[in-house]
Structure 1
């Protein structure tokens, strides 16, 4: 397949995240891929070697929520970088101000995952409220014939659902839960005048008027621990929290205390503050549903992400506008 830069040597791309075989093949068909994981080198040595190459990389592919940040340290190590393509929608792992200062353009995953994350969030709401996973464990442990019927869950239809972050994902969650007859309200940076849902500027007020609180916002200085002890108390003892945003959107220690003390009814968590490490207390709670940050991943979304990432890289190397540019400050 022809290089996006035309005839000659394919452009170099810094790959700073794990990818599956089809993804790796798609990248290598078009670019000279400098792969951190396959190099076996420590990060500083790998970056130094990349920067010293005769044709150093001008683009990097990075992973949301990973340990490698796209910040001044990365750009100092590889000064040739002029484009960062993130395989996540959120950009909390990218120093956007530093990118703007250095003339580095940024692309994210856009809406590639939005429907998958919305599906997962709704599945978690159903699972926690109807106790699906907990009841399944009850059957597998052989407890049904011994202890009798499993305790009742709560219906989902008609519940009041508060959504924190009504962007692409939050809007799709709202649309899905509307089909259950749920009453939707939300908190976001600004009210969405075109939507029929009730807007709350204050998250505590939103929680107080909700049976279920779904977190689907980006992580930044304003949304770190946006769900803390006061919000959980406002949600109340019958309330459920579902987080498909970022782990640090929720004060995990406060959440554990609220669950332990029965101040809320349950939680569904796909993201965690210290992931992949998860609190032992959360793992032991029957009223908590846990998944390993997989809301974004389906066979279809993985394929779509591969195509989307390649298309953004092609656009950059061809001098065309990025498909999903991130606005820089």
Structure 2
């Protein structure tokens, strides 16, 4: 008999088919359906597939006596109660590495669009304004890119940015021996003072909440652009809005924000802000790889083998 899976995140039909072929799937992608599914199927659920934003609580773990694997579809897992899972002997895994390239691609797309003011130039063109009456915007080559969080995704962003001729600096809890020519800074503010542009690629959670704050934005300066593909909590939205309105920085491009799934009201009306709906890691290839990775972890657990991507 197939294991029973509680699916808490929406995925496309073609990827859901991979799960339906392998598990008894209970889909519950909104809070009411989630509560109802747990109440009705608590005795059956053995696997839970969620993500870092949606999470899974200690109370929910306690309600599922047969739970054996709690999984995050993507790399993030900040809202999974890992302590409660471990105390119950529930295995934990995530989708580390399955969407890194997709996120890094999106980060560079956002950075290029912001620095080159692509939305503003498109809007001007539609209003009948030709290039002779527009500002000139800088190339990426030679600009200094500060990366907050040089993990797997941060390193891929650095590699792509270096191909554009950017000079790379980074802030991490500690220096990385595999950082190559990238310069290490021991504080986000120090990194921002050096950088022309800033990309946030650090994990979410309490330790990185508002790691980009008013002081960091002031240090970045009037020509700077901020890109966030990490977690919305990593950037102080009110401080970012104030900096943009005051001309303290030049622009921002965000795939994640504190108000999601609602767009940030303070930023949505600003011409120098680009917003995408938390899709940096989403492509047909990356979602399929993430779902297959979950299946591989579930199969490994059933065999008693080490999980491919344990948390």
- Where in structure 1 are there 5+ consecutive unaligned residues? 1-8
**Which one of the candidate residues 5, 21, 35 is aligned to 1:13?**
5
Aligned length: 310
Indicate the residue corresponding to 2:218 in structure 1: 233
**CA apart distance, 1:44:** 2.6
Indicate the residue corresponding to 2:299 in structure 1: 314
CA contact (8 A) 1:229 1:258 kept: yes
Segments of 4+ moved more than 3 angstroms:
none
Alignment of 1:78-89 (within 5 A): 78-89=64-75
- Where in structure 2 are there 5+ consecutive unaligned residues? none
**CA apart distance, 1:148:** 5.4
TM-score, normalized by length of structure 1?
0.90
SS in 2 for 1:14: strand
CA RMSD of superposed structures (Å): 1.8
How far apart, CA to CA, are the structure 2 residues paired with 1:232 and 1:37? 36
Alignment of 1:25-104 (within 5 A): 25-37=17-29, 42-52=33-43, 56-66=44-54, 69-104=55-90
Structure having the higher Rg? 1
CA-to-partner distance for each residue in 1:299-322, whole Å, 9 max, x for gaps?
211222222222122222222211
How far apart, CA to CA, are the structure 2 residues paired with 1:101 and 1:63? 20
SS in 2 for 1:144: coil
How far apart, CA to CA, are the structure 2 residues paired with 1:311 and 1:157? 41
TM-score, normalized by length of structure 2?
0.95
How far apart, CA to CA, are the structure 1 residues paired with 2:10 and 2:263? 21
How far apart, CA to CA, are the structure 2 residues paired with 1:51 and 1:216? 36
How far apart, CA to CA, are the structure 1 residues paired with 2:284 and 2:46? 30
Please state if 1:156 is matched with 2:140. Answer: yes
Pick closer, same or farther for the CA change 1:183–1:83 going to 2, 3 Å: same
How far apart, CA to CA, are the structure 2 residues paired with 1:42 and 1:291? 26
